[in-house]
Chain A
Amino acid sequence: MNRTAPLVLGIESSCDETGVGIVRGDTLLTNAVSSSMEEHVRFGGVIPEIASRAHLDAFVPTLRQALDEAGVTLDEVDAIAVTSGPGLAGALMVGVCAAKALAVATGKPLYAINHLVAHVGVGVLDGGELPENLGALLVSGGHTEILRVGSLTSDVQLLGSTIDDAAGEAYDKVARILGLGYPGGPAIDKLARQGNPKAIRFPRGLTQPKYMGTAEAPGPHRYDWSFSGLKTAVARCVEQYEAAGQELPVADIAASFQDAVVDVITSKAVLACTEQGITNLLLGGGVAANSRLRELTAERCAAAGISLRVPPIRLCTDNGAMVAALGAQIVMAGGQPSGVDFTPDPSQPVTSIHLPAA
């Protein structure tokens, strides 16, 4: 196998995006993505079964598109990489079965890749090698995590995460309460620009001293987040306006909600970085598209002397190129293939960067 600049095909199906990306070493060749987002709109959130059905129908067309765009054949591919978790079980199964079938059909080595670490690995496609003392803040509809990345291929540690809803999920739920439709992130981000972020003081979850502790004696959730209470606070606030027969200040609520989310995400992330010796931060996940999150992360990182890297948005949202990118890094680092016997793991921990052969 070519381990210098391997041609790697990456497959992603952990949520509602069917992605097939192809890289050569750390160079992106193509990133084909088919999304079932439209089918989830009327439900106000991703429905796993609908997403899984869409993956089955989208996979081969997306694969064909990726190969055509990159101008490569399956024969030329050095290795195949697939998201094995974390993610929605039924959705993961489709990508994993397809990837295993490709490996059986072509005889190419298969790598079972961690979805979250792939969100970090994608960074190499835009700006090359990642810096040392690296941290990653991942914010999406399914995830909110802060990671310490000692080595992309062998040492990743979870510093903190949401203990309930993901940040993007909170956006979706609040957008529903405010009647702004799905997906909630872009709608709230847009409306928030016209509102006063200080109009209503919404709670910042897990920031009380009993959860935070101190740097020397950290509390149980020093770097963790919680957004379910915030969502409920928005619902109660809306009800109070309605009960009083007052017009709902939708823009102010959206701005105040966004302020609460972004404030607590960035403050805890920067705290984790400063206390854990992290001097370079990568921001990833679909919510990296949020204008306020980007702005405040940049501001607070600058103030703390942390360099910030944000990949282009099409590489931040779920895609196959990120899986291929991490796969290629693992191949180049001499990693052994996972084989075709592995079990997809819906709650694969970040410490499991790629699965060993069964």
Chain B
Amino acid sequence: MLILAIDTSAIASAALLNGEGETLAAFATEDTKSHAEVLAPGIQKLLADAGVSGGQIDAIVTGVGPGPFTGLRSGIATARTLAFAWNKPLHGLMSLDAIAVDAALDAWRAGVDEFIVATDARRKEVYWARYRSTGGTAELLDGPHVSSPAEVPGLPAYGAGAGLYPDVLRTVQDFAGAQPTAEALGRTAVVRLVRGLELLPDLPLYLRESDAKVPGPRKRAL
């Protein structure tokens, strides 16, 4: 099995994984604002480095957020188009799961039962979800949500969203800069696909409406 995973819910990243969940090639950017530029060249290089053609890929997996709108769409638009052009199945995965897969192991080692994963939602808010670590495996209990950090439950919090608000959240320092990556998301996807578990549809989890307001009555000058 060969999986191409893509996530642009925060940084832009892509990875090729085999059926054992091993990474054959991966790339990830540092910044969160250049998805439309770097994603396609990144995937092109990834395939070339691994010597893989589109026809050999068995499935494409994309993070469906939550994440800032324009960046999130870059990854989903790319994944949907690749899936169409190569005629391959496309699955979605909640992007916070990418952090949760490593966080669950850390929580288990630390003897923590339930934990939070949070990423930056901008506008002084975070995207977050609540997980349980069952022997080091993450299980989603609640979310994803978008809210001010003050509304997040007071559990140990993993991810770059927690790193931004150390005074409000119970930030786990080793994970204070952690962003969702396609590599981690791909590992989760492989596990689920191998076990025959359901993944998500490829629909973006925006969690917020557009800011547009229906116009009110006309302002008068007279």
Residues of A within 8 A of B (CB): 42-44, 47-50, 52-53, 55-56, 59-60, 63-64, 74, 89-90, 93-94, 96-98, 100-106, 176-177, 235-236, 239-240, 243, 340-344
Contact = CB atoms under 8 A, between A and B. Distances in A.
A102 B37 contact: no
Interface in B18-59: 34-41, 43-44, 47, 54
Given A97-B36, A97-B73, A64 B84 contact: yes
Most chain-B Cβ atoms within 10 A of its Cβ — which of A48, A98, A235, A343?
A98
Given A42-B214, A93-B36, A59 B41 contact: no
Contact of B222 (A74, A98, A239, A343): A239
Contacts of B180: none
A49 B69 contact: yes
Contacts of B37: 341-343
A240 B220 CA distance: 10
A325 B41 CA distance: 26
B206 interface: yes
Given A56-B77, A104-B44, A239-B222, A90 B69 contact: yes
A44 B37 CA distance: 32
A343 B36 CA distance: 7
A116 to B, nearest CB: 20
A231 to B, nearest CB: 11
Interface in B95-127: none
A48 B73 CA distance: 13
Nearest to A93: B36
A299 B98 CA distance: 64
The 5 closest A-B pairs by CB, nearest first: A100-B40, A49-B210, A105-B85, A101-B81, A47-B212
A90 B70 contact: yes
B215 A44 contact: yes
A44 B218 CA distance: 12
Contacts of B214: 42-43
Contacts of A53: 69, 73, 204, 206, 210
B80 to A, nearest CB: 5
A93 B74 contact: yes
Contacts of A93: 35-36, 70, 73-74, 77
A248 B37 CA distance: 52
A257 B54 CA distance: 56
A74 B85 contact: yes
On chain B, which size bracket covers the interface?
35 or more
B211 interface: yes
B165 interface: no
A94 B77 contact: yes
Contacts of B220: 239
A98 B81 contact: yes
A43 B211 CA distance: 11
A89 B221 CA distance: 33
A311 B205 CA distance: 41
Given A104-B43, A239-B222, A341-B37, A63 B211 contact: no
Contact of B85 (A48, A102, A240): A102
B78 interface: yes
Most chain-B Cβ atoms within 10 A of its Cβ — which of A42, A106, A236, A340?
A340
A49 B76 CA distance: 16
B109 to A, nearest CB: 39
Given A105-B82, A340-B40, 5 more contacts: A49-B211, A53-B69, A53-B204, A93-B36, A98-B80
B81 A105 contact: yes
Contacts of A105: 54, 81-82, 85-86
Contacts of B40: 97, 100-101, 103-104, 340-341
Contact of A59 (B34, B77, B86, B206): B77
A97 B77 CA distance: 6
Contacts of B84: 60, 63-64
9 contacts: A43-B215, A47-B210, A49-B210, A59-B81, A94-B74, A101-B78, A104-B44, A105-B82, A340-B41
B13 to A, nearest CB: 14
Contact of A97 (B69, B78, B206, B218): B78
A100 B39 contact: yes
Contacts of A243: 222
Contacts of A177: 218
B36 to A, nearest CB: 5
A139 B28 CA distance: 42
A68 to B, nearest CB: 13
A103 B34 CA distance: 19
A100 B222 contact: no
A287 B35 CA distance: 34
Most chain-B Cβ atoms within 10 A of its Cβ — which of A55, A56, A96, A240?
A56
A97 B75 CA distance: 8
B52 to A, nearest CB: 12
B69 A52 contact: yes
Most chain-A Cβ atoms within 10 A of its Cβ — which of B35, B74, B75?
B74
A96 B36 contact: yes
A89 B70 contact: yes
A341 B41 CA distance: 6
Contacts of B39: 97, 100
Contacts of A236: 221-222
